[in-house]
């Protein structure tokens, strides 16, 4: 499954019955709760990174990516919006690199 597929599934849960899915339940609690969960998962990932626990960090990073996308969906920001922002930064850094070389 790609991040795009997971994001599409999360988007679909915005209109799903909260009883049918954990994601739908979380989204139904509102953007503030989604942001709070993202923060909790980010802290758990930080703890694993500081400990140097690779398996723990891998698992927590998956939680962070999932909860980041739930938070974005809750505020009507798409994964495509975020990827476009990253691409524009990459293009900018390419321009800066070329300027530095010339
Ligand atoms: N990737 C995930 C995913 N990662 C984490 N989680 C859920 O996130 C929750 C976070 O863990 P916590 O320990 O904080 O949960 P909790 O203690 O039960 O929650 P709180 O009581 O603290 O609110 C867990 O209940 C996990 O099931 C996820 N839930 C769903 N997905 C994917 O999202 C898609 C939609 O799933 P449904 O939610 O089943 O529709 C599917 O592709 C799933 O694989």
- The CATH number for 65's domain is 1.10.287.1080
**Closest atom of ligand 1 relative to the 21 alpha carbon:** 40
Tell me the pLDDT tens digit for each residue of 4-56.
Answer: 999 999 999 999 999 999 999 999 999 999 999 999 999 999 999 999 999 99
pLDDT at position 99: 80
Cβ–ligand 1 distance for 7 under 6 Å, the answer no
Q: How far is CA 16 from the centre of its chain?
A: 20
Cβ–ligand 1 distance for 36 under 6 Å, the answer no
**How far is 100 from 26, CA to CA, in rounded Å?**
47
In the chain, how many domains are there? 1
Task: Say yes or no to pLDDT of 100 above 90.
Answer: no
**How far is 92 from 95, CA to CA, in rounded Å?**
5
Task: Say yes or no to pLDDT of 102 above 90.
Answer: no
**Closest atom of ligand 1 relative to the 6 alpha carbon:** 42
Taking the CA atoms of residue 72, residue 53, residue 49 and residue 57 in that order, the dihedral angle to the nearest 10 degrees is -10
CA angle 11, 4, 92 (to 5 degrees): 115
Q: How far does the centroid of ligand 1 lie from the alpha carbon of residue 100, in Å?
A: 46
Nearest alpha-carbon partner for 93 in 80, 82, 85, 78: 85
Cβ–ligand 1 distance for 22 under 6 Å, the answer yes
Domain that holds residue 97: 3-101
ipTM comes to 0.88
pLDDT at position 92: 83
Largest CA distance in the chain: 60
pLDDT at position 30: 98
Query: Is the full-model pTM beyond 0.80?
Result: yes
Tell me the pLDDT tens digit for each residue of 48-97.
Answer: 999 999 999 999 999 999 999 999 999 999 999 999 999 999 888 877 77
Nearest CA to ligand 1 atom 17: 37
């Amino acid at each position: 499954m790609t991040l795009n597929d997971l994001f599409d599934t999360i988007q679909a849960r915005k209109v799903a019955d909260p009883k049918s899915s954990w994601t739908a339940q979380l989204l139904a609690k509102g953007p503030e709760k989604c942001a709070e969960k993202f923060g909790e998962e980010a802290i758990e990932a930080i703890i694993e990174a500081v400990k140097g626990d690779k398996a723990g960090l891998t698992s927590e990073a998956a939680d962070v990516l999932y909860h980041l996308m739930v938070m974005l969906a809750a505020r009507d920001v798409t994964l495509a919006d975020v990827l476009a922002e990253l691409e524009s930064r990459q293009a900018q850094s390419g321009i800066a690199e070329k300027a530095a070389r010339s």
